[in-house]
Amino acid sequence: MKLTTVQQKLVLHWGEMGTRWGISRTVAQIHALLYFSPEPLPADEITDVLQVARSHVSNSLKELQTWGVVGVVHVMGDRRDHFQALKDVWQTFEILLDERKRREIDPTLKILRETAAMMAEDKTTADVFTKERVDEMLGFMESVDAWYGEVRRLPRAARVKLVTLGAKLSQLLR
């Protein structure tokens, strides 16, 4: 199997962007490869095309499967697993966002809650200023967190509408 120029460009770019999204380059490349590939690919093929260690492909695929953006299918007369990426773009990015929130927001929220609780208890604290900053930061994060949870609980169509509506939202806010 050989990649077209376009596919190659996309795979390489995805890899580079992956690192900025907190995803390792190879994992992102594999995802791109599967997403832009017409048919599901076996691990060997991925190894060939991307020129990375077989074991690494295996582990990366596992990671992508854990997230749910890649799945396994089987081909008649072929014992090997074949992998395909989720083709639904919205869902793919929602999964990615969830993951990022889990890693980038939730831990901070936890620390801020702990800290705020601790400071509220401790009456002797002379450091009123820091307390205020913690409370403000916590308030902000709680808002964002609650908002995300609510949006996430909406039926998907509503969520899509929320984005595609765009400018019209500003009118609703009057």
Partner DNA sequence: CTGTAATTACGGTATAAACTGAAATTTCAC
Partner DNA sequence: GTGAAATTTCAGTTTATACCGTAATTACAG
Q: Which listed range, 36-44, 45-53, 63-71, 72-80, lies at the site for its own copies (CB under 8 A)?
A: 36-44
Residue 70: what are its φ and ψ, rounded to 5°? -135, 140
Residues 134-173 that bind its own copies (CB under 8 A): 134, 136-137, 139-140, 143-144, 146-147, 150-151, 154, 158, 161-164, 166-167, 169-170, 172-173
Number of residues that bind its own copies (CB under 8 A): 53
Residue 71 binds DNA (CB under 7 A): no
Helix-, strand-, coil-residue percentages of the chain, each rounded to 5 = 70, 5, 20
Q: Which residues make beta-bridge pairs with 42?
A: 82
Partner interacting with residue 66 (select from DNA, its own copies, none; CB below 5-8 Å by kind): none
Closest approach, Cβ 85 to DNA, in A, equals 15
Stated as kind and residue range, the H or E segment containing 28 is helix 25-36
CB–CB of 85/11 below 8 Å? no
42 vs 119, beta carbon nearer DNA: 42
Residue 95 binds its own copies (CB under 8 A): no
Residue 120 binds its own copies (CB under 8 A): no
Residues 36-65 that bind DNA (CB under 7 A): 42-44, 51-56, 58-62
Strand extents, DSSP E, 19-159: 41-42, 70-74, 81-85
**Cα angle, residue 111 at apex, residues 105 and 112 outer, rounded to 5°:** 85
Partner interacting with residue 54 (select from its own copies, DNA, none; CB below 5-8 Å by kind): DNA
Spatial CB neighbours of 125, under 8 Å, sequence gap ≥ 6: 119, 131
CB–CB of 30/46 below 8 Å? yes
Q: Which residues bind DNA (CB under 7 A)?
A: 19, 24-27, 42-44, 51-56, 58-62, 79-81
